[in-house]
Amino acid sequence: MIRYNIQKLGANVIDFVQTTGMMGIFLTNCLRQMLTPPHKIMSIIKQIHFIGGRSTIIIIFTGLFTGMVLALQGYHNLKDFGSTDLLGSAVGLGLIQELGPVLTALMVIGRAGSAICAELGIMRHSEQIDALECMGIDPFRFLMVPRYYAAIIALPMLTFIFDVVGIMGGYLVGVVLMGVSEGSYFQGMYSSVDWSDVQLGLVKSFIFGLLIIWIATFKGYFLHVLKAGGHGAEGVSRVTTDTVVLSSVVILASDYLVGTIML
């Protein structure tokens, strides 16, 4: 029994090291292809539409309710200290530095990351990626580059939308419903949120975009060799679930790391 457990542990360690190495090589290949022109602009726009455009509604709703909840909680807490004037700065900082990039990334993982992983997995399973290679078309250029560009362009844009809608949600609850003065709401925000906070949010969303697309494309592309993969519908479902779980954890961990480095 002990021997079996040690063997299993060893196999898992080897698998982890191999997968990490493969992920590194995969990302290097993708980034190298991204930096090698020419690129098909139409394919990139199509992917921006898929990752960004189609996520807009869900981002608007999430942003609105997040801003509203933030203002509601903030108002009741600040009221005890007689500091409701700080509501604008609490909502603004909370959204722009943290909640905007993180929640946007989590929404995009659920909507686009899983779909991209499943799409690539099915393409692998139905030999479409092999067919590309046999036509002399580099799958990294054809499949990965547009998705990578789209993710790192769309995520900051979606985060921006999330932040703006969230601030409006906060305004709705704080100013319209709770009666905080409009001037103090926006003045508080204006005085406490500076360019470095916006920068932090944008850098985070850029990094999150890269991480999401990296994990989703890697898991789908290597469906056939990954331990969680295998062939068939079950393999696709497993790597898709893996993508959502791993991406979410990585986003939260990297949020802390980026925050530590930049704050």
- Residues within the interface to another protein (CB under 8 A): 123, 126-128, 130-131, 133-138, 142
> Which CB atom, from 136 or from 179, has the smaller least distance to another protein?
136
- How far is it, in rounded angstroms, from Cα 23 to Cα 148? 15
Rg (CA), the chain: 22
Least distance between another protein and beta carbon 175 (Å):
46
Least distance between another protein and beta carbon 113 (Å):
18
> Which CB atom, from 139 or from 156, has the smaller least distance to another protein?
139
How far from each other are the two terminal CA atoms of the chain, in whole angstroms?
49
> Which CB atom, from 34 or from 178, has the smaller least distance to another protein?
34
- How far is it, in rounded angstroms, from Cα 149 to Cα 36? 13
Least distance between another protein and beta carbon 32 (Å):
12
> Which CB atom, from 133 or from 182, has the smaller least distance to another protein?
133
Name the DSSP letter for residue 53: G
Whether residue 38 has a cis bond before it, omega within 30° of 0: yes
Q: Are 160 and 166 in contact (CB under 8 A)?
A: no
Which tokens sit at 64?
């609105």
164: left (phi over 0), alpha (psi -120 to 50) or beta: alpha
> Which CB atom, from 69 or from 115, has the smaller least distance to another protein?
115
* One-character DSSP codes across 122-177: HHHHTTHHHHHHHTT--HIIIIIHHHHHHHHHHHHHHHHHHHHHHHHHHHIIIIII
Least distance between another protein and beta carbon 140 (Å):
9
- How far is it, in rounded angstroms, from Cα 153 to Cα 181? 36
3-class DSSP state of 178: coil
Question: Which positions ≥6 away from 76 have C-beta within 8 Å?
Answer: none
> Which CB atom, from 64 or from 132, has the smaller least distance to another protein?
132
Least distance between another protein and beta carbon 133 (Å):
6
Least distance between another protein and beta carbon 198 (Å):
36
Least distance between another protein and beta carbon 68 (Å):
38
> Which CB atom, from 29 or from 181, has the smaller least distance to another protein?
29
